[in-house]
Structure 1
Amino acid sequence: MPELPEVETVRRDLTRSLAGKRITQVEILNTGSLKGATPKGFLGEISGRSFTRFGRRGKYLILHLDTGKVLVVHLKMTGVLQYQQKGDSLPRAARIIFYFSGGQRLVFSDQRKFGSIELAGDAGTIPSLQEMGPEPLEKDFTSEALKERLGGRRGPIKPLLLDQSIVAGLGNIYAAEALHRAAIAPQRPADQLSGPELKKLHRAIIQVLKEAIAARGSSVDTYRDGQGKKGWFQVKHRVYGKQGNKCRRCGGTIVKEIFRGRGTYWCPKCQR
């Protein structure tokens, strides 16, 4: 699933390509990808409108229309939002297509059909966004804020980092990478982390997310950026997808274990 760095990369791409462009036509190829309106109602709200700006909250994209309404896009497992020129080949898994006055188009494709585009009057009315925790790249995400969100919970730290009500935008890839950088085992109970360890984890989360955005995300599965290109942060992964390799820090062997139903990558030698 695309995580914060991938979604932020798409947001920046769309901002450069689509701001102010007028939508001339919308083609809905899969009604199951649409939320918040009937196909007829959606077409009536979108046709002839323009995108004014592009936002993000956690793993969600928020496309602002000139009417004041928004499209909230959740890519889920295999969703891709790609800006195309007139002669580009249409993705095989295209679900919803927005056409623009210059002949360009914005294509939402989704192989597994779990993703969605939801029309809303305000992004703040979407329950999943209301319940979301702090953005890890904003100033209010401090080590004290992380400690407060964890709230002395006894559960293991890795699943808690995946909880979007604690930190917005983290997923399996960047939780694993941050924990490795902080030298914390994914199974450690959160309430047993010391103050210095929480500070290390806080710094690691911010560092790995910034580096991943600079590399335009991790293309480990179907992820493509807003231009249809692969990111390249996967070549810098230290543990995710690196089972059997030597740990860059201690020389131990990276392992993959199924923990709480998720593949978890870590180094048993240096993560404590």
Structure 2
Amino acid sequence: MPELPEVEAARRAVELHCKGLICRASVADDTTVIEGMAPFDMQRRLVAKRIVAAHRKGKQLWLELDEPPSICFQFGMAGAVYVKGVKSTKYVRSAVKDEDEWPSKYSKVHLVLDTGVEMSFTDKRRFARVRLLQDPRLSPPISELGPDAYTELPDETTFADSVAKKKTAIKAVLLDQSFIAGIGNWIADEVLYQSRIHPEQPASTLTAIDCERLRGAIKEGKRSSSSLLAEGRLLMCRSCRSTMGFQRRRRHRGRNLSRGKWTTRTKWKKRRKPRQRRRLSPGRKNPWTTTGNLMVMTNQRGKGVQ
């Protein structure tokens, strides 16, 4: 699933390279992804319009046209924006190689601009949504989102007060897009680890210091990833300082934390036969505990967690 940095990288690619008059538009005949109108009608309303800006809130991306409506993209599980005509050294996930199929058979919206640049929004799993909205900020689902985790993060006092009102698990609170928009499953795991808070700890039991650490971890993730977006290196390991794109995240996170590599040993259960666990030496405590299918360090345990 695309995380917030990937959606922001797509927004920056479109903002820099895809401004111009739409000469030709092709919309897939997929009424599951194309929402609110017939694909042919959407295609007709896009032609001869000019893209003037690209905006984002949370994981929602929309292109502002010279006159309403705007075209909005909800990335879902596998949505992605690709730009033809941009060098592959820029925006690694968005660049298209000469040997690649174009447009992809999974393309849902394909736009050709008067500048010669072509843009395509693809979705292999059909969980994405494409809409035309008169005013995206005032229309669902964007109007139902909370403050953006990158650009509208509340101050310390407001953040702590908002968390204190929630009685559910803190990870569920972070994943609630009406609370903070843009934090997904993987980023939630990471910021909770960095702030040493157990994912299942009730949010109302967090102290002011816990909330300050949590907000700082979200802010630090924004700062470190923003400087690496343009090169496709979206994340930096806090221990070994190596940078990586989201394509490598699962492999990198699979390393053992005791060697100073990443936050969890494994997040998804393996289908192969598990290896026999080593027995701990007498008197030594197991530093790992399991919550759901996620293994976390015992120093993440908190109040209300069994």
Would you call these one fold, judging by a TM-score over 0.5? yes
Check 1:123–1:251 CA distance in 2 against 1; reply closer, same or farther (3 A cut): closer
2:233 aligned partner: 232
In the alignment of these two chains, the number of paired residues is 256
Higher relative contact order (CA 8 A, sep 6+): 1
Structure 2 regions of 5+ residues with no counterpart?
86-95, 240-248, 270-290
Question: Which whole-Å deviations, capped at 9, do the CAs of 1:117-175 have from their partners, x for residues lacking one?
Answer: 11011103432212211122335611222223334222111111000011110001111
1:256 aligned partner: 267
Secondary structure in 2 aligned to 1:127? coil
2:246 aligned partner: none
2:23 aligned partner: 24
Query: Quick one: distance in 1 between partners of 2:256 and 2:213?
Result: 24
Check 1:92–1:42 CA distance in 2 against 1; reply closer, same or farther (3 A cut): closer
1:195 aligned partner: 208
Check 1:167–1:264 CA distance in 2 against 1; reply closer, same or farther (3 A cut): farther
1:66 aligned partner: 66
Query: Quick one: distance in 2 between partners of 1:251 and 1:54?
Result: 33
1:219 aligned partner: none
Question: Which whole-Å deviations, capped at 9, do the CAs of 1:172-220 have from their partners, x for residues lacking one?
Answer: 111111111111111111111000110110010111122223332xxxx
Query: Quick one: distance in 2 between partners of 1:190 and 1:11?
Result: 32
Structure with max Cα Rg: 2
2:282 aligned partner: none
Matches within 5 A, 1:193-232: 193-216=206-229, 231-232=232-233
What stretches of structure 1 move > 4 A for 4+ residues in a row? 247-253
1:247 to partner: Cα distance: 4.6
- RMSD of Structure 2 on Structure 1 (CA): 2.9
2:198 aligned partner: 185
Which AA in structure 1 matches 2:298? P
2:106 aligned partner: 93
2:115 aligned partner: 102
1:43 aligned partner: 43
Question: Could you state the TM-score of these two structures normalised by the residue count of structure 1?
Answer: 0.83
Query: Quick one: distance in 2 between partners of 1:257 and 1:159?
Result: 18
Mapped pair 1:245 → 2:239: no
Question: Could you state the TM-score of these two structures normalised by the residue count of structure 2?
Answer: 0.74
Query: Quick one: distance in 1 between partners of 2:167 and 2:268?
Result: 21
Query: Quick one: distance in 1 between partners of 2:40 and 2:264?
Result: 55
1:159 aligned partner: 172
1:26 to partner: Cα distance: 0.9
Question: Which whole-Å deviations, capped at 9, do the CAs of 1:71-98 have from their partners, x for residues lacking one?
Answer: 1111111011111139843134222211
